[in-house]
Structure 1
Amino acid sequence: MTYQDLLTTMTDTAHEVGELLLATPRPAPAVTFDELAASFTEVEAPGDAVVRQRLGALRPGAAWAEELDSLATLPSDGEVWVVDIVDGAVQFLQGLPQFCVSLALVRDGEPVAAVLHAPVLRETYTAARGQGAARNGLPVAPSVKTDLAAAVLATSQPPFVARQPGAAEQAGRSLAAVLPHVAAVRNLGPTSWQIADAAAGRLDGFWEFGRDDTNLLPGVLVAREAGAVVTDVDGKTWRAGCESFLVAGETLHESLLSVLAGRGPAEPFPRTPAAA
């Protein structure tokens, strides 16, 4: 079975889980973290059972990444399912629409098949290595903007960012560095979906500091297959385990690297007319 062949069952599975989520009554609002965690487990369980049955049958020998510590290194060889039943669970539990079902098969540390499905939007991103990327069956491509001042970017942070010393501080510094030079910066929910939206040109770029492999890997494949540039903030090819992440179209990627490094454009946005 080719990676492209896998996408049919992966897509059907993501849609089935999405319908389960739409039909799931949201738990009563949590007032403590323990209650929030319990609510997430309750909401995730039915979809998790579906995913394990469907995907487990496709690759019986594959491991499941969520069984690993979130900061552990993914296996460098063999196949691993990277699954998030409710990517954007915080939004889901708050009654917000920005969440998705995220499924990816990772082989030897690299994503090879990925499906992201947003039930509320009725949209699905798919990608298989060497086969391109699509949204609802139509090919996607990254932004071709050339002016950073016109760019709409997004950023986020890994879950429990306090567990990664320095990541929150880097995020704050990077936001302060980027904001003066672009049209807008947003956080639009699931990390994987925001990367896919950057791959499709809805966003002009996305960056993040800290390790966040399981959230990044599904979107990374969509971005690479769409033709976006995927690196760390030093411009090196992104790999699982990297401490930073940047995706953008080719025309803006170098400019964003410069801004994130503190060398950004000499003339901040908005530009003011020259004095008469």
Structure 2
Amino acid sequence: MLKSVIDIVETLAAGVRAPERPPASFEELSEVFGAIDDPLAAALEAALAEVRPGAAWAGEFGDLPSGEVWVVDALDGAVQLLQGLPQYCVTVTLVRDGEPELAVLHSPWLKETYAARRGEGATRNGIRVEPSRKTALDAAVAATSQPPFVVKQPGVAEAAGRSLTAVLSEVAAVRNLGPTSWQVADVGAGRLDLFWQYGRDATNLAGAALVAREAGAVVTTADGAPWTPSAGSFLAAAPALHAAAAKILRQAE
């Protein structure tokens, strides 16, 4: 089934095109986004229904029914795409009873696909990936982001600011490299050493968390507790860096 999902995502994502120029207003942004996202989401839903006919569909992660549910973000990083930037990806996750079971993330720009199935490891373009071997934060390249419409989650922007100040003094660099899901997967592959975020953002994080975890990264909340899709914070890090990163974030709170 994983191969079928990879083929579907890669094929449908190939047709995504940025607008000729960035939208000039929020209304125009919404209109242009819908013109790109809606057909792609509909095509993904139709194709995935053939792969798993009994699975429900949830474009946004909320109160999910028991059983199998497809959680899809047709354009993670849509803001970049609408600005004519290449940092976006398509994410598809199969969730069973609240637990991610299968995930596929595809970047049309990079022509790369992360894929994972629970208990079977994680790959990029079919080759197994593993997290960074770094042991000290002073050499670490960290990344962070914010959930969509962050102002609708009280206190999250403030927590993001405090944590950024704290982490900046401890690592080699902090970046935001585009799609949340792709950055988390890059932690699993060792391209980034850690990623953290405050706020609920399960649609972007569920599949990526599976990729990172299956690759061997440690995935928790920011304070080191077990992460679930309803959690209010997120941390993925290389095994030797996780404890130190979680300590910094706890102190920043």
Aligned residue in 1 for 2:232? 243
For residue 45 of structure 1, report the CA deviation from its aligned partner: 2.8
- Normalised to the residue count of structure 2, the TM-score between the two structures is 0.96
Structure 1 pair 256/25, CA: closer, same or farther in 2 (3 Å)?
closer
SS in 2 for 1:261: helix
Alignment of 1:25-104 (within 5 A): 26=19, 28-66=21-59, 68=60, 72-75=62-65, 77-104=66-93
For residue 55 of structure 1, report the CA deviation from its aligned partner: 0.2
Alignment of 1:37-186 (within 5 A): 37-66=30-59, 68=60, 72-75=62-65, 77-186=66-175
Percent of paired sites with the same residue: 56
For residue 35 of structure 1, report the CA deviation from its aligned partner: 1.1
Q: Is the 8 A contact 1:74 1:240 kept in 2?
A: no
The number of residue pairs the alignment matches comes to 252
SS in 2 for 1:29: coil
Aligned residue in 1 for 2:176? 187
Gaps of 5+ in 2: none
CA deviations on 1:115-165 (whole Å, 9 max, x unpaired) are: 001001011001001111000110000111011000000000000011100
CA distance in structure 2 between the partners assigned to 1:219 and 1:84 by the alignment: 11
**Aligned-partner residue type, residue 4 of structure 2:** T
Aligned residue in 1 for 2:210? 221
Runs of 4+ off more than 6 Å? none
Aligned residue in 2 for 1:19? 14
Aligned residue in 1 for 2:244? 255
CA distance in structure 2 between the partners assigned to 1:165 and 1:171 by the alignment: 11
Q: Is the 8 A contact 2:18 2:81 kept in 1?
A: no
SS in 2 for 1:15: helix
**Aligned-partner residue type, residue 152 of structure 1:** V
What is the Cα-based RMSD across aligned positions, in Å?
1.3
Q: Is the 8 A contact 1:74 1:109 kept in 2?
A: yes
For residue 182 of structure 1, report the CA deviation from its aligned partner: 0.4
SS in 1 for 2:116: strand
Q: Is the 8 A contact 1:147 1:252 kept in 2?
A: yes
The structure number with the bigger radius of gyration is 1
For residue 25 of structure 1, report the CA deviation from its aligned partner: 5.2
SS in 1 for 2:14: helix
SS in 2 for 1:257: helix
For residue 249 of structure 1, report the CA deviation from its aligned partner: 1.1
Q: Is the 8 A contact 1:17 1:85 kept in 2?
A: no
